[in-house]
């Protein structure tokens, strides 16, 4: 398969479903997710029973946590690390700066008016995972294609942007939707990093939200189903050979 491309963007999400940051480089390790991605999450009251001595000792599915599919306003949270603090912004909230090592009480209070739009139990605690708290219990990262995004925006006749998809890596230069047929293929990024593409990403209603406003602007699962007869957009990958990657690196399908 011949697909010339380049790495366009790298993103990390320190707190699951809450904010995110762009990176100018990252060091990947074999059989590990993107470092620091989904390191923390906010557990709600119904999920507290899964804690052991007040701590999270194992991976839990996303239903245990505060998440955008249940409260659309969360999708408009932006931000990441600034030194030892996390700094978050939202169009309807003041900027929040807090040190997660000191506990998440300030974050819980800041989230309350955003999460209260859901019908879920109250947010109660910031927890750190023993592994990345991604939606899949695998050491994977997510890869999306900018050309696929541009094509989908044209089909739906509206801008969608990159943030609603919460991808780790964005590739530019592939044919639209070429990634769908790359399961079990390998790609090389730069000179040394090799990723094995593993599984298509099925999309939930969190992607229906305009991340500038926190308001639903499309029924994205339905739109994908109408266009393609499935709800996939993007693909997961596992790191096989590690190293440092940067935006601008060439991407080769092996």
Tell me the pLDDT tens digit for each residue of 23-71: 999 999 999 999 999 999 999 999 999 999 989 999 999 999 999 999 9
- The answer for residues whose C-beta is within 8 angstroms of residue 52's C-beta and 6 or more apart is none
**Overall average pLDDT of the 118-128 stretch:** 95
Q: How confident is the model at residue 138 (pLDDT cuts 50, 70, 90)?
A: very high
Q: How many domains does the chain have?
A: 2
Angle at 140 between CA 134 and CA 146, to 5 degrees: 95
- pLDDT value at residue 54: 86
Based on the domain organization, do 172 and 235 belong to the same domain? yes
Q: Are residues 155 and 198 in the same domain?
A: yes
Residues 39, 132 contacting (CB under 8 angstroms)? yes
Domain that holds residue 97: 40-128
- Do residues 249 and 141 both lie within one domain? yes
Task: Please give the pLDDT value at position 103.
Answer: 77
Same domain, 179 and 202: yes
User: Which residue in 93, 96, 224, 116 sits closest to 165, CA to CA?
Assistant: 224
124 and 170 co-located in one domain: no
Last residue of a domain, one of 128, 160, 188: 128
- pTM for the model stands at 0.96
Residue 109 scores a pLDDT above 90: yes
Confidence of residue 243 (pLDDT cuts 50, 70, 90): very high
236 and 142 in one domain? yes
To the nearest 10°, report the CA torsion of 234, 236, 240, 241: 40
Q: Are residues 67 and 97 in the same domain?
A: yes
- Residue 1: what pLDDT? 54
Distance, in Å, from the CA atom of 122 to the CA atom of 111, rounded to the nearest integer, reads 10
The packing angle between helices 146-156 and 220-228, to 10°, is 90
> Distance between CA atoms of 97 and 86, rounded to whole angstroms?
6
State whether 143 and 244 are in the same domain: yes
Q: Which of 128, 150, 183 is the last residue of a domain?
A: 128
Whether 56 and 177 map to the same domain: the answer is no
Q: Are residues 204 and 170 in the same domain?
A: yes
Residue 77 contacts by C-beta under 8 Å, 6 or more apart in sequence?
Answer: 18, 19, 88, 89, 90, 114
Are 105 and 152 part of one and the same domain?
A: no
Exposure on the CB side of residue 29, measured as CA atoms within 13 A: 6
pLDDT for position 37: 98
The domain boundary residue, chosen from 128, 144, 175: 128
Here the CATH number for the domain that contains residue 187 is 2.40.33.20
Q: What is the mean pLDDT of residues 137-145?
A: 97
What is the mean pLDDT of the segment spanning 186-209? 97
Q: What average pLDDT is seen over the chain?
A: 96
Residues 6+ apart with CB under 8 A from 67: 16, 17, 74, 206
3 pLDDT band, cuts 50/70/90, is: confident
Q: Are 143 and 241 in contact (CB under 8 A)?
A: no
Q: Which residues contact 196 (CB under 8 A, 6 or more apart)?
A: 184, 185, 186, 237, 238, 240
**Are 62 and 146 members of one domain?**
no
- Please return the burial class of 36, using the count of CB atoms within 10 Å of its CB with bins 0-12, 13-18 and 19+: middle
């Amino acid at each position: 398969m011949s697909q010339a491309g380049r790495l366009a963007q790298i993103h990390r999400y320190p707190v699951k479903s809450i904010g995110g940051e762009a990176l100018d480089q990252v060091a990947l390790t074999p059989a590990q997710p993107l470092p620091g991605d989904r390191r923390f999450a906010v557990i709600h009251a119904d999920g507290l029973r899964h804690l052991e001595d007040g701590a999270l000792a194992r991976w839990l599915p996303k239903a245990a946590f505060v998440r955008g599919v249940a409260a659309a306003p969360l999708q408009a949270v932006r931000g990441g690390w600034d030194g030892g603090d996390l700094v978050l912004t939202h169009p309807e909230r003041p900027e929040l700066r807090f040190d997660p090592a000191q506990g998440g009480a300030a974050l819980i209070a800041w989230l309350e008016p955003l999460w209260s739009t859901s019908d879920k139990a109250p947010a109660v605690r910031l927890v750190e995972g023993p592994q990345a708290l991604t939606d899949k219990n695998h050491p994977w990262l997510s890869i999306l294609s900018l050309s696929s995004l541009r094509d989908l925006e044209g089909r739906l006749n509206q801008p969608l942007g990159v943030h609603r998809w919460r991808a780790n890596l964005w590739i530019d230069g592939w044919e639209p939707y070429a990634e769908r047929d790359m399961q079990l293929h390998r790609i090389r990024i730069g000179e040394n990093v090799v990723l094995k593409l593993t599984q298509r990403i099925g999309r939930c209603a969190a992607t229906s939200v305009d991340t500038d406003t926190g308001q639903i602007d499309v029924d994205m699962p339905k739109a994908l189903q109408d266009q393609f007869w499935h709800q996939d957009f993007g693909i997961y990958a596992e790191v096989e050979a590690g190293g440092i990657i940067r935006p601008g690196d060439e991407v080769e399908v092996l």
